[in-house]
């Protein structure tokens, strides 16, 4: 028997344990909890295995195989993978035995540690790390790493920051001119720059000096001129230790991702030498101007900024501010400001990269709209990834009001580099389409809108438009027409999802026919749909008419994917708000192109996931449908199948045909209709004896009763300790309800007025009792003098039986209202809607919850009591039985009694369930087929791109352009790799 100790410690941390062969050491541990354990072997390793719960750590003792004590002299694994014996033995503060005790068996740390565990391990080493960090300020060996003489410069760009003498530093960094160095002053290292070591950047000869005495002549003459430091001319105003030279016209400012540098740049002066800017560009420097530019940017800093902008949303101003601080931490404000130059050069760099990636450097051809944009590889594109036209293009349309844009300061002086060549549409034709609808708002653009493929979330090239005043139909019309021109030759069917398609699609063809610019192929059939999230905010009829669940060929698609695409654009939208109009569009183009690129390289993984989900969904839906169809009448099933086929033929012309997927409830009179009927009957009654306004008075009583219940719920919701704001709100509500109770309209004639006075006094009370009642009056609990509250006997005694019958009629209308709302809200699947369903029921309490006692007080007959049964809590439970009868766990559920109210038999409910179950099964089957096609289309797209680059490589070979051949080969290899990876992934998934 062995006693184990669980060391007391903070939550979330258990100290390592040491297992002893006897218990004398364990008994000395104070504050420890002892447990007995009988190991299966003579020596066994036992450890406490933790498991986490909310705000609690629990666990149990687990026996592990015995671990050898010996540690190999030569590690066979890396240091990070070796067991930390030192930590295991010394980790327990309560351990009192010796480390050489043969009875001690070390325990291994858990294989998986939390981030806090790693931090706890590091905390004791803080001082050691800090000491080493400080020791690096003065190197142990101060000799030059090359020649052994005294070192002067420490390079921060080289590994281990070695020391160099002046000559060796210049030699070693001739090809590394953008490393940051520090100079030894005799007591510490001070920030410096390579130009002070005499380094020169030579252009025109691959970076090699082109003069025999270039290494000495220029520098010596410069030293003679300035009297010492070759680069300190007119730099007396700078403090010492600034790692750049400012104000020297002989030097060039070069911006790199390591910061800003000043260098002496020598241009080639050979007779056949290229222009100065071309020489710079050949050396990987992008000049800011073209005649001996004094500012240049390295290709590295341009690529780094674009990547930061894509992934982090970093603006050019913030990025350059970071570069200034990287240059010097103490005097960043003295670093030359090249922010505007960075903005300008970045635009040019984007254009060059897009032209290069799309093969325009290999062939001379015009750039057409959308040619610099990448489209979805899994969508059908005739002539690219599919030869057939028997496919549907699925599109989603949406707007984004975060991407605002201010009016440019000099609109007539702006230059566009990519007008319509990317995702944003061209200006000229779009403005002609807008014509007289120019914006007079303070913003040039209040947002953007456009289209993406609905299944994969790739932006469609040349389909993004600016909004001038809200999300108008004319803006989205232009975007849709442009979408249907992109790689869509032969496509005969387009499924479009839009938040307001129920209204937008109605007059679409008429608007296009009237426009001289807009055009859609006549043979193209557009099927409108609404996303599954937005459709529940529409009328009930829109769900079955426009939800993708019931559209033939729509597969399992939610139609909401574009909402996720706005997130990365929203990060950069604030920075793009004040840009010039062309610059903003180019920035958005590049962001959307990168989004499509990331979708493309991950497409194989995405399609495999879709296919696996489709297989599981098809199997589950088929099983549920078969179970549902087993009990169906074969004759009814044939009838329903015929209805379904007919509906899918008619729905394109008449969306109301889709209403067969909804329960066809018979129309029942609502409360307003019942009140109108009673008022009409009163108007036809004999003049002297009719009670004018009684129906309206009763209806107001029902409304007051509902308001009382709402007030009770508000009071209950506030609780026993309300805030002053809540108390004031309740007091105001109570005061308003009190006025309504006592100041409501009275019936018209004197007889009715006397009757009402009798109703107000239900019991004979003394004046004192009435005063006490007024002092504690609670409007939410006041009894409304309705016949249902008096009872049948009292109504007969005071002669108001006619009012009781009228109230019974109004109560039925009120019940129909409530049940209709409950049915409508209960269909929805969101939790927010479920909450509204409960609020709807509770807000009307007994008046609307159809309790039988109300009708008993009004002498309701048995048929009426059977019709309106009491509502139980389980009847109001929100589930997917109606909205999605095929969802898991709903197969055996039965609907509450009110679903069959006013329905011609149970077959109506069963018919809708059967149709919806079949629709769900069909959509999953379509999903499997389409996912398989998309796998083929994706492979075809990669193959097409690889062949395209192979062709461009042949063109470059014929032109004897070796570099062009190399780039074409590299791009072709990328697409071939994507193709092979996709094939392997698809094969594994299908198998």
- Give the residue, 330 or 968, on which the prediction is more confident: 968
Q: DSSP string covering 301-314, please?
A: HHHHHHHHHHHH--
Does residue 350 have a pLDDT over 90?
Answer: yes
Tell me how crowded residue 308 is: count the other CB atoms within 10 A of its CB: 17
* Letter string b/e over residues 483-508, b meaning 16 or more CB atoms within 10 A of that residue's CB: bbbbbbebbebbbbbbbbbbebbeeb
Q: Which band of pLDDT confidence, cut at 50, 70 and 90, is reported for residue 4?
A: very low
pLDDT tens digit string along 759-768? 443 443 444 4
Token look-up 């939610």 returns 558
Look over the chain and give the mean of its residue pLDDT values, rounded to a whole number: 75
Query: Residues 492, 497, 500, 505: what is their CA dihedral angle, to the nearest 10 degrees?
Result: 0
Long-range contacts of 503-506 (CB under 8 A, 24+ apart): 504/473, 504/476, 504/528
Asked if 202 and 181 count as a contact pair (C-beta separation under 8 A), the reply is no
Please give the Cα distance from 21 to 106 (Å, whole number).
13
Please give the Cα distance from 936 to 983 (Å, whole number).
9
Three-state secondary structure call for residue 619: helix
Token look-up 């044939």 returns 638
Counted residue by residue, the chain has a size of: 991
Please give the Cα distance from 749 to 697 (Å, whole number).
13
Long-range contacts of 757-760 (CB under 8 A, 24+ apart): 758/798, 759/785, 759/790, 759/798, 759/800, 760/785
pLDDT tens digit string along 970-989? 999 999 999 999 999 999 99
Query: Which range, of 164-178, 265-279, 735-749, averages the lowest pLDDT?
Result: 735-749
Does residue 932 have a pLDDT over 90?
Answer: yes
DSSP 536: G
Please give the Cα distance from 558 to 494 (Å, whole number).
16
- Give the residue, 87 or 55, on which the prediction is more confident: 55
Whole-number pLDDT of residue 172: 80
pLDDT tens digit string along 405-442? 999 888 888 999 999 999 999 999 999 998 866 655 78
Whole-number pLDDT of residue 249: 79
Please give the Cα distance from 214 to 826 (Å, whole number).
86
Does residue 250 have a pLDDT over 90?
Answer: no
Highest mean pLDDT among 287-291, 526-530, 725-729: 526-530
Does residue 336 have a pLDDT over 80?
Answer: yes
Distances (CA, A) of 824 to 541, 673, 878: 10, 19, 11
Whole-number pLDDT of residue 873: 64
- Give the residue, 2 or 613, on which the prediction is more confident: 613
- H-type alpha helices, 252-296: 276-282
Please give the Cα distance from 241 to 421 (Å, whole number).
48
Q: With 0-12 CB in 10 A as exposed, 13-18 as middle and 19+ as buried, what is 240?
A: exposed
- In sequence order, the 6+-apart residues with CB closer than 8 A to the CB of 519 are 481, 512
**Shortest CA distance to 826 belongs to which of 873, 906, 880?**
880
Whole-number pLDDT of residue 608: 96
Please give the Cα distance from 351 to 372 (Å, whole number).
9
Does residue 904 have a pLDDT over 60?
Answer: no
- H-type alpha helices, 744-885: 750-760, 767-775, 787-790, 792-798, 801-827, 831-842, 845-848, 852-857, 862-867
Whole-number pLDDT of residue 979: 96
Query: Which range, of 191-205, 745-759, 802-816, averages the lowest pLDDT?
Result: 745-759
Which region, left, alpha or beta, applies to residue 725 given φ > 0 means left and ψ of -120 to 50 means alpha? alpha
Whole-number pLDDT of residue 746: 45
Q: With 0-12 CB in 10 A as exposed, 13-18 as middle and 19+ as buried, what is 288?
A: buried
Does residue 798 have a pLDDT over 60?
Answer: yes
Which is it for the CA torsion 938, 943, 944, 945, positive or negative?
Answer: positive
Pairing relationship of beta strands 252-256 and 295-298 according to DSSP bridges: parallel
Whole-number pLDDT of residue 303: 94
**Shortest CA distance to 185 belongs to which of 211, 156, 153, 221?**
153
Asked if 753 and 746 count as a contact pair (C-beta separation under 8 A), the reply is yes
Strand order in the sheet with 295-298: 200-202, 259-266, 252-256, 295-298, 285-287
Whole-number pLDDT of residue 230: 46
Whole-number pLDDT of residue 117: 85
Query: Which range, of 139-143, 519-523, 609-613, 758-762, averages the lowest pLDDT?
Result: 758-762
Mean pLDDT of 831-840: 41
DSSP 94: T
* Letter string b/e over residues 714-723, b meaning 16 or more CB atoms within 10 A of that residue's CB: bbeeeeeeee
Residue 500 in tokens: 């307001």
Please calculate the CA angle 450-452-453 and round it to the nearest 5 degrees: 155
DSSP 19: B
Query: Which range, of 203-212, 258-267, 507-516, 643-652, averages the lowest pLDDT?
Result: 203-212
Q: Which band of pLDDT confidence, cut at 50, 70 and 90, is reported for residue 157?
A: confident
Q: Which band of pLDDT confidence, cut at 50, 70 and 90, is reported for residue 875?
A: low
Q: Which band of pLDDT confidence, cut at 50, 70 and 90, is reported for residue 752?
A: very low
Mean pLDDT of 887-902: 49
pLDDT tens digit string along 703-719? 777 777 777 777 777 77
Distances (CA, A) of 929 to 393, 560, 604, 941: 15, 22, 16, 18
Q: Which band of pLDDT confidence, cut at 50, 70 and 90, is reported for residue 738?
A: low
Tell me how crowded residue 657 is: count the other CB atoms within 10 A of its CB: 18
Does residue 196 have a pLDDT over 70?
Answer: yes
pLDDT tens digit string along 613-671? 999 999 999 988 888 788 778 888 888 899 899 988 888 888 888 888 887 755 556 66
Please give the Cα distance from 788 to 45 (Å, whole number).
78
Residue 543: in which H helix or E strand, if any?
helix 540-546
Query: Residues 203, 207, 210, 216: what is their CA dihedral angle, to the nearest 10 degrees?
Result: 100
Whole-number pLDDT of residue 976: 95
Which region, left, alpha or beta, applies to residue 61 given φ > 0 means left and ψ of -120 to 50 means alpha? beta
Does residue 922 have a pLDDT over 50?
Answer: yes
Tell me how crowded residue 119 is: count the other CB atoms within 10 A of its CB: 10
Query: Which pTM does this prediction carry?
Result: 0.68
**Shortest CA distance to 853 belongs to which of 783, 784, 897, 791?**
791
**Shortest CA distance to 297 belongs to which of 262, 256, 248, 343?**
256
Asked if 154 and 184 count as a contact pair (C-beta separation under 8 A), the reply is yes
Three-state secondary structure call for residue 900: coil
Asked if 63 and 42 count as a contact pair (C-beta separation under 8 A), the reply is no
Q: Which band of pLDDT confidence, cut at 50, 70 and 90, is reported for residue 482?
A: very high
Q: Which residues, in sequence order, are bridge partners of residue 33?
A: 6
Q: What share of the chain in percent tops pLDDT 70?
A: 68
Highest mean pLDDT among 92-106, 620-634, 723-737, 969-983: 969-983
Please calculate the CA angle 662-664-666 and round it to the nearest 5 degrees: 150
Mean pLDDT of 774-786: 65
Does residue 368 have a pLDDT over 60?
Answer: yes
Half-sphere exposure of 49 (CA within 13 A, CB side): 8
Tell me how crowded residue 704 is: count the other CB atoms within 10 A of its CB: 18
Which region, left, alpha or beta, applies to residue 228 given φ > 0 means left and ψ of -120 to 50 means alpha? left
């Amino acid at each position: 028997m062995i006693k184990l100790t669980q060391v007391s410690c903070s939550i979330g941390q258990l100290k390592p344990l040491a297992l002893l062969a006897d218990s004398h050491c364990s008994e000395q541990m104070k504050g420890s909890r002892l447990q007995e354990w009988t190991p299966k072997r003579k020596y066994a390793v036992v450890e406490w295995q933790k498991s986490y719960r909310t705000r609690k750590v629990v666990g149990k003792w687990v026996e592990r195989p015995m671990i050898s004590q010996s540690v190999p002299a030569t590690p066979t694994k890396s240091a990070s993978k070796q067991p930390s014996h030192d930590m295991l033995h010394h980790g327990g503060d309560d351990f009192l035995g010796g480390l050489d005790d043969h009875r001690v068996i070390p325990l291994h740390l858990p294989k998986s540690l939390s981030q806090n565990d790693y931090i706890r391990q590091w905390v004791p080493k803080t001082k050691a790390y800090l000491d080493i960090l400080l020791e690096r300020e003065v190197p142990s060996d101060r000799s030059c790493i090359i020649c052994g003489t005294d070192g002067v410069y420490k390079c921060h760009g080289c590994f281990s920051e070695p020391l160099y003498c002046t000559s060796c530093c210049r030699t070693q960094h001739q090809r590394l001119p953008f490393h940051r160095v520090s100079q030894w002053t005799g007591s510490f290292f001070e920030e410096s720059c390579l130009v002070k070591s005499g380094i020169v950047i030579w252009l025109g000869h691959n970076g090699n000096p082109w003069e025999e005495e270039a290494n000495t002549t220029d520098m010596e003459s410069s030293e003679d001129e300035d009297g010492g430091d070759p680069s300190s001319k007119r730099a007396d105003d700078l403090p010492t230790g600034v790692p750049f030279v400012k104000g020297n016209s002989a030097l060039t400012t070069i911006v790199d991702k390591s910061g800003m540098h000043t260098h002496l740049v020598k241009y080639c002066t050979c007779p056949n030498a290229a222009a100065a800017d071309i020489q710079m560009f050949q050396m990987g420097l992008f000049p800011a101007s073209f005649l001996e530019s004094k500012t240049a940017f390295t290709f590295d800093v341009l690529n780094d900024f674009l990547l930061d902008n894509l992934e982090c949303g970093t603006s050019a101003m913030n990025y350059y501010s970071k570069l200034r601080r990287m240059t010097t931490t103490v005097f960043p404000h003295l670093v030359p400001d090249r922010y505007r130059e960075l903005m300008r050069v970045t635009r040019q760099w984007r254009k060059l990269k897009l032209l290069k990636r799309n093969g325009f450097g290999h062939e001379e051809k015009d750039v057409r709209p959308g040619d610099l944009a990448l489209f979805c590889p899994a969508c059908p594109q005739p002539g690219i990834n599919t030869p057939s036209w028997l496919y549907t293009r699925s599109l989603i349309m949406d707007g984004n009001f975060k991407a605002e844009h201010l009016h440019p300061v000099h609109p007539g002086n702006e230059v566009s580099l990519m007008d319509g060549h990317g995702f944003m549409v061209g200006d000229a034709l779009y403005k002609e389409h807008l014509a007289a609808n120019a914006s007079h708002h303070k913003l040039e653009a209040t947002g953007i809108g456009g289209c993406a493929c609905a299944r994969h979330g790739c932006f469609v090239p040349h389909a993004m438009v600016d909004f001038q005043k809200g999300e108008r139909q004319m803006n989205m019309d232009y975007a849709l027409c442009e979408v249907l021109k992109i790689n869509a030759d032969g496509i005969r069917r387009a499924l479009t999802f839009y938040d307001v398609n129920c209204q937008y699609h109605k007059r679409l063809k008429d608007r296009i026919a009237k426009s001289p610019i807009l055009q859609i192929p006549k043979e193209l059939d557009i099927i409108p749909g609404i996303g599954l999230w937005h459709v529940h905010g529409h009328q009930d009829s829109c769900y079955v008419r426009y939800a993708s669940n019931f559209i033939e060929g729509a597969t399992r698609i939610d139609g909401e994917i574009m909402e996720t695409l706005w997130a990365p654009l929203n990060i950069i939208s604030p920075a793009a708000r004040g840009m010039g109009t062309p610059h903003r569009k180019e920035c958005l183009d590049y962001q959307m192109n990168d989004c499509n690129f990331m979708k493309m390289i991950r497409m194989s993984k995405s399609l495999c996931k879709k296919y696996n989900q489709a297989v599981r969904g098809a199997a589950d839906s088929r099983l549920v449908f078969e179970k549902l169809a087993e009990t169906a009448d074969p004759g009814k099933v044939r009838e329903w199948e015929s209805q379904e086929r007919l509906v899918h033929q008619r729905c394109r012309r008449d969306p109301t045909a889709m209403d067969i997927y909804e329960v066809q409830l018979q129309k029942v009179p609502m409360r307003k209709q019942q009140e109108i009927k009673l008022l009409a009957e009163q108007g036809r009654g004999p003049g002297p004896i009719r009670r004018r306004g009684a129906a309206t008075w009763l209806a107001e009583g029902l409304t007051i009763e509902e308001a009382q219940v709402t007030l009770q719920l508000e009071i209950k919701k506030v609780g026993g300790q309300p805030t002053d704001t809540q108390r004031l709100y309740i007091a105001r509500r109570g005061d308003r309800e009190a006025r309504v109770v006592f100041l409501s309209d009275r019936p018209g004639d004197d007889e009715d007025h006397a009757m009402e006075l009798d109703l107000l006094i239900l019991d004979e009370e003394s004046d004192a009792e009435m005063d006490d009642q007024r002092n504690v009056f609670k409007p939410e609990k006041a009894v409304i003098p309705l016949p249902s509250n008096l009872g049948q006997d009292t109504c007969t005694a005071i002669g108001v039986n006619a009012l009781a019958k009228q109230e019974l009629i109004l109560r039925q209308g009120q019940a129909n209202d409530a049940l209709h709302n409950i049915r409508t809200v209960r269909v929805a699947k969101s939790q927010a809607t479920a909450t509204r369903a409960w609020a709807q029921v509770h807000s009307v309490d007994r008046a609307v919850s159809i309790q039988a006692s109300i009708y008993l007080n009004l002498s309701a007959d048995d048929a009426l009591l059977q019709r309106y049964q009491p509502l139980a809590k389980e009847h109001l439970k929100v589930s997917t039985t109606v909205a999605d009868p095929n969802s898991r766990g709903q197969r055996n559920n039965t609907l509450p009694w009110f679903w069959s109210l006013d329905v011609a038999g149970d077959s109506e409910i069963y018919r809708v369930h059967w149709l919806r179950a079949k629709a769900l099964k069909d959509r999953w089957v379509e999903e499997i087929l389409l996912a398989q096609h998309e796998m083929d289309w994706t492979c075809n797209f990669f193959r097409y791109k690889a062949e395209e680059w192979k062709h461009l490589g042949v063109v470059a070979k014929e032109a004897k352009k070796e570099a062009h051949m190399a780039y074409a080969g590299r791009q072709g290899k990328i697409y071939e790799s994507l193709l092979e990876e996709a094939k392997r992934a698809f094969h594994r998934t299908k198998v």
